[in-house]
Structure 1
Amino acid sequence: MLTSQRRALISARLANDGQVVAGELAAELNLSEDTIRRDLRDMATAGLLKRVHGGALPVAPPLPDLEARLTISADVKKRLGRKAAELVRAEQLVFLDGGTTNAEIVRALPRDMKLTIATHSPAIAALLEKHRADVILIGGNLYKHSMVATGAAALAAIGMLRPDIFFLGATAIHPAHGLSTGDYEEAAIKRAIAAQAAETIALLTEEKFGAVSPHHIAGIEAMAGLIVPASMADDVITPYRQKTIRIIEA
């Protein structure tokens, strides 16, 4: 089999199965495992897949900028945001991650609810202008792509908080490799918030499932729950149900 044919097969397997196991594919094609590993290494260098121990996973697509994300899956994000808002109780300290899906949580919250909302996103904080909620805005180095604060100052401020609930955003989720995102510093901030929160719930649109971004946030078992579209196929969501965490459909 030609190199181009092998690599086309690998791409097809990633699209259909969500993973490639080097040993299994080598045995199936009657090739050495080193040959398959070399293909995976070269394809990873070209940005076509994400190498993991024993094989490869699909790579999450590049995250569009904030303005572009406003138009992606807008109706689904509204449903996810409304479902998340239903979980919020008066007098809680709620930490909101940045992102367009979490913006829908703010829009769904009752404006007269008495609570405290912390966020490292100035865009999220601005949406709370008309709300009764007290707002704690975490400062630091502004990561403009996601419009969130990162760095040492943000980490220090986060360390002083004990949120009742953290609504987390991520660019990818995989049943074996957990939740991940595209920026090293942003991933560190997300991990820090989750470590301080009593519970962390991730809001995820369907295209994020089964992929891996470069920087790990947390394993599935670290989540108190996932808020997902009710339209998701059973074969996609079943591996996450098997982790015995709460799946909340919206």
Structure 2
Amino acid sequence: MKVTFLGTGTSQGVPVIGCECEVCRSLDYRDKRLRVSILVEVGNKNFIIDAGPDFRQQMLRERVKRVDAVLFTHEHKDHTAGLDDIRAFNFMQHIDMPLYADQRVLNQLQQEFSYIFTNHTYPGVPRVELHPIQNQPFDLQGVPITPINVLHHRLPVFGFRIGDFTYITDANYISEEEKEKIRGSKVIILNALRKEPHISHFSLSEAISVLEDLAPEQAYLTHISHLLGLHQRVEKELPSFVKLAYDGLALTI
């Protein structure tokens, strides 16, 4: 399995519009963060988890030629706003793109992108297939996937475990029952917004505490805001098994 970080930033991305902080002015490429998303390549399948407003740019940067399905963690715009750009894969692959998400999220997509789902669609709009998933394992084109139900303040969000790899973003609470689904993962990706507490995201110390409990061989932090600090500086403060992710980082698992 290969996992590529398409974006590792929070909803505003980094740099933030109009901000003059040292992170937003940084020349380190690792401090330039598009909205959060990953590409998972397993076997001969390519899956995207979340397609935010930077989706087109991310596909071009990584030269992605094929996408077999898109999984959505939840309905917030920084995770869904790029859905229109799956048209390119419709045209190249001659398929309706399978979308996997909680029914609540699929309902929201139908509302936000109503022009895709009308009875008489305009020529050239995206073509999709909706696949509702629940909090139980499912098969995605031959790949077993286990959803992990976490909370983003009061909003349920799905993380996903694929083999020895678990991906969780936009969370500030994981129940003990759901943690049991994660245990044994060799690689875990978890969100860490900033150092100060936040109402709906893990802070840096909270994320590290969760990771120390789950004890993967390696962990990466994502959904990072400019308030966390400079990449080079923060990495030196982390436990040896934890690293900050950055856009374009690729892992082989």
TM bucket, shorter chain: 0.3 to 0.5
More helix by share: 1
Higher strand proportion: 2
